[in-house]
């Protein structure tokens, strides 16, 4: 018996024969053809990706007793507070979820990940595009566990981007979700046939990945309209401090624009297509637009991790410290670094304490502070305690920095209510207005504009903390930890490895 399981190939064949094991075999999809040289001859090689059948993967997940309990007892809030995505206006006011209170709420995530540490021109050779999903019915404290996050699809980034075949890679996911939204799909759960219904509620991703998946212009620096939530011009972003001043994108208008671009493409009118594509900052029709009960203009939510912890906060912290250290000369960086090292961290922050001290060059040049996202989250909470005795209470730079800390903490809070969204809207408007006056030479980043849409996002989809990519990006570590020596078909190897460990 053991001789039949002495290598990985025999393992996979054994799992295929055992229907009781929670193993779902990845399926191949052809994305296109590429020309490569083999033995001094030019040959055609298929560009392939792999997806895990969504219905089968979901069925295995629903067979777990712990997951079943989440559907038997929906986690709806009974007071004025919102604790999860299900407490937002989108699910509460949705006719589909009102008729099907136990329907599955799907969260989709996509990101690019580099498995190896390449140098020079090999930097994108083994870069992979990953798709994950999780179930919002599972409470947040369990949903954040890495084993709950499921792999949905995987392909080489060059293959899926060059061939523009993300539709083919996600076809099974979209088709299954549409069936679940209409008639439901029949699954055998613990020996009983159940009719399972569900829909996609939010898509979490960084700006580039979300724009790519939604078929918006990816490079925000080159787009005429940099925001996927509204139609504001990139040149006007720094002059707008309230979301009410922005003309929001709507699904109806977006669909009309996509239809018009499709007609121009069919008519081979390249010049006209390029003009209107640039004017609207839309590349075409996303495969997510085929989904029922999903909004392409608001479902691609802004991620608080990338907006704050990897965007606004490091830049603002650098400018703030430059003013205190080199302009007002209230203290020296050496003193601050010593205080951070000797700070008595609580058990909440000890694992995520700042990894490096502040470097003089980074602060002098007002560049990004080199810290991880979790370390910056801890730093923004302890820094007011360290700097408080050194700074006057009426210092405008200090007050505005504390205002930014308030915004970050509200957006990363585990619960909120309607008043929280109103306070957040006021704080964001004040912060943006005063920040521009205090640091007039600082370059404006589009992420400062994305903040304006967070209060509305909070009301629609619950606490913004649960829209974060942080746990999805932690899932990358599972694939990076594997020692890889064979790169012949990397997506297949990793997808097999993931579902092999699920058994």
Q: Is residue 386 part of a domain?
A: yes
Cα separation, 143 vs 53, in Å, equals 21
Structure tokens at 379: 């730093």
DSSP, res 310: I
Picking from 438, 371, 374, the residue whose alpha carbon sits closest to that of residue 401 is 438
Counting beta carbons within 10 angstroms of the beta carbon of residue 51, is it exposed (0 to 12), middle (13 to 18) or buried (19 or more)? Answer: buried
Q: Which domain holds residue 351?
A: 308-464
Instruction: Per residue of the chain (503 residues), give pLDDT as tens.
Output: 556 666 666 666 666 666 566 678 888 888 888 777 777 778 877 788 999 999 999 988 888 878 877 776 667 777 889 999 989 999 999 999 989 888 899 999 999 988 876 665 556 677 899 999 999 989 888 888 888 899 999 998 888 887 678 899 999 999 999 999 998 898 887 778 888 899 999 999 999 999 999 999 887 666 788 899 999 998 899 899 988 889 999 999 999 999 999 999 888 888 899 999 989 999 999 999 999 889 999 999 999 999 998 889 988 888 898 888 888 888 888 888 888 888 888 887 888 888 767 777 767 666 667 778 888 888 888 899 999 888 888 899 999 999 999 999 999 999 999 999 999 999 999 999 999 999 888 888 899 999 999 999 999 999 999 999 999 988 888 887 777 777 778 888 888 877 766 55
Q: Is residue 429 part of a domain?
A: yes
Q: Is residue 395 part of a domain?
A: yes
Q: Is residue 6 part of a domain?
A: no
The three-point CA angle 388-392-395 to 5° equals 110
Report pLDDT for 457: 95
Cα separation, 202 vs 300, in Å, equals 6
H or E element, residue 41: strand 41-51
Q: Is residue 324 part of a domain?
A: yes
Distances, alpha carbon 286 to alpha carbons 211, 216, 283, 297, 382, in Å: 10, 9, 9, 11, 43
Q: Is residue 110 part of a domain?
A: no
Picking from 116, 295, 128, 292, the residue whose alpha carbon sits closest to that of residue 203 is 295
Q: Is residue 492 part of a domain?
A: no
Cα separation, 403 vs 421, in Å, equals 15
**What is the value of pTM for the model shown?**
0.90
Q: Is residue 402 part of a domain?
A: yes
Task: Give the dihedral of Cα atoms 96, 100, 105, 106; nearest 10 deg.
Answer: -70
Q: Is 31 helix (H, G, I), strand (E, B) or coil?
A: strand
Cα separation, 257 vs 140, in Å, equals 37
Counting beta carbons within 10 angstroms of the beta carbon of residue 354, is it exposed (0 to 12), middle (13 to 18) or buried (19 or more)? Answer: buried
Cα separation, 47 vs 459, in Å, equals 42
Q: Considering its fold, how many domains does the chain have in total?
A: 1
Residues 6+ apart with CB under 8 A from 107: 85, 133, 134, 135, 136, 200, 201, 202, 203, 204
């Amino acid at each position: 018996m053991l001789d039949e399981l002495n290598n990985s190939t025999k393992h996979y064949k054994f799992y295929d024969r055992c229907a009781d094991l929670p193993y779902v075999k990845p399926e191949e999809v052809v994305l296109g053809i590429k020309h490569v040289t083999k033995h001094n001859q030019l040959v055609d090689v298929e560009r392939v990706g792999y997806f895990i059948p969504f219905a089968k993967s979901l069925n295995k997940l629903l067979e777990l007793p712990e997951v079943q309990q989440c559907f038997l007892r929906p986690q709806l809030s009974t007071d004025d507070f919102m604790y999860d995505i299900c407490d937002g206006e989108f699910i509460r006011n949705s006719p589909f979820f009102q008729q099907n209170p136990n329907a599955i709420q799907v969260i989709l995530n996509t990101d690019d990940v580099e498995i190896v540490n390449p140098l020079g021109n090999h930097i994108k050779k083994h870069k992979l595009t990953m798709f994950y999903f999780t179930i919002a019915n599972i409470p947040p404290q369990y949903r954040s566990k890495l084993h709950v996050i499921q792999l949905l699809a995987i392909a080489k980034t060059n293959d899926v981007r060059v061939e523009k075949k993300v539709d083919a890679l996600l076809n099974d996911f979209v088709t299954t979700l549409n069936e679940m939204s209409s008639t439901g799909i029949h699954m055998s759960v613990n020996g009983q046939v159940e009719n399972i219904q569900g829909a996609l509620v939010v898509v979490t991703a960084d700006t580039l990945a979300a724009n790519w998946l939604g078929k918006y212009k990816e490079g925000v620096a080159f787009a005429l309209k940099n925001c996927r939530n509204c139609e504001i011009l990139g040149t006007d972003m720094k002059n707008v401090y309230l979301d009410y001043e922005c003309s929001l994108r709507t699904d109806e208008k977006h669909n009309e624009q996509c239809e018009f671009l499709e007609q121009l493409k069919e008519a081979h009118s390249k010049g006209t297509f390029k003009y209107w594509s640039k004017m609207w900052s839309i590349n075409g029709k996303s495969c997510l637009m085929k989904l029922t009960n999903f909004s392409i203009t608001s479902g691609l939510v802004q991620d608080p991790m990338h907006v704050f912890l990897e965007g606004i906060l490091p830049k603002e912290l650098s400018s703030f410290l430059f003013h205190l250290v080199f302009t007002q000369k209230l203290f020296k960086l050496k003193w601050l670094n010593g205080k951070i090292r000797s700070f008595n961290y609580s058990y909440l922050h000890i694992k995520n304490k700042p990894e490096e001290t502040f470097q003089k060059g980074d602060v002098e040049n007002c560049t990004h502070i080199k810290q991880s996202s979790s370390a910056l989250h801890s730093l923004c909470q302890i820094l007011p305690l360290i700097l408080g005795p050194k700074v006057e209470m009426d210092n405008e730079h200090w007050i505005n920095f504390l205002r930014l800390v308030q915004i970050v903490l509200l957006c990363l809070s585990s619960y909120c209510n309607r008043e929280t969204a109103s306070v957040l809207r006021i704080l964001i408007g004040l912060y943006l207005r005063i920040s521009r006056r205090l640091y007039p030479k600082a370059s404006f980043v589009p992420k400062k504009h994305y903040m304006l849409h967070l209060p509305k996002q909070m009301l629609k989809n619950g606490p913004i903390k649960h829209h974060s990519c942080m746990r999805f990006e932690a899932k990358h570590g599972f694939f990076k930890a594997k020692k890889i020596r064979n790169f012949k078909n990397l997506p297949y190897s990793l997808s097999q490895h993931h579902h092999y460990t699920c058994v």
